[in-house]
């Protein structure tokens, strides 16, 4: 079996939010040539991406709201929106996202920027450093 760490891996399909995992996704190729990708610490990865997205001022798109609801495992009848959803995500997941500096006032004071339908925010780039997912500015 051959194993390598990928420099940049688009984790969007696994999370539902626009996320690039940097220097952390593990690609394994078995003897038959079949490849698999492993993302370590997935609970923390989802939590970190969710909290970071909720701290970004751009309006949440429908697909992002659905992803956040899945990450939180919200029942269908529970439909918080806007700041209420952002606060719920941050308050619920902050302990699973230790690499994110979160302050409730940041969400309280957040002025949501309206966006066009289908707008996609810049990818959230996450690095796994010392077993903690952290946001990075590395290209």
Which residues does 95 contact at the CB level (< 8 Å), separation at least 6? none
In the chain (139 residues long), the average pLDDT of successive 10-residue segments reads 94 96 95 95 96 95 94 88 94 95 91 85 90 69
What's the pLDDT at 81? 87
This prediction has a pTM of 0.90
Domain boundaries, the chain: 2-133
What's the pLDDT at 130? 76
The CA distance from 104 to 46, in Å, is 19
């Amino acid at each position: 079996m051959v194993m390598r760490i990928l420099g940049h891996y688009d984790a969007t399909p696994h999370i539902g939010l626009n996320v690039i995992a940097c220097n952390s996704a593990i690609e394994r190729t078995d003897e038959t040539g079949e490849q698999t990708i492993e993302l370590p610490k997935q609970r923390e990865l989802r939590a970190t991406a969710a909290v970071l997205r909720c701290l970004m001022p751009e309006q949440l798109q429908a697909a992002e709201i659905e992803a956040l609801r899945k990450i939180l495992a919200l029942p269908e009848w529970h439909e918080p929106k806007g700041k209420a959803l952002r606060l719920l995500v941050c308050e619920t997941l902050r302990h699973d996202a230790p690499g994110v500096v979160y302050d409730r006032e940041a969400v309280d004071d957040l002025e949501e920027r309206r966006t066009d339908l289908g707008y996609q925010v810049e990818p959230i780039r996450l690095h796994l450093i010392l077993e903690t997912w952290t946001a990075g500015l590395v290209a």
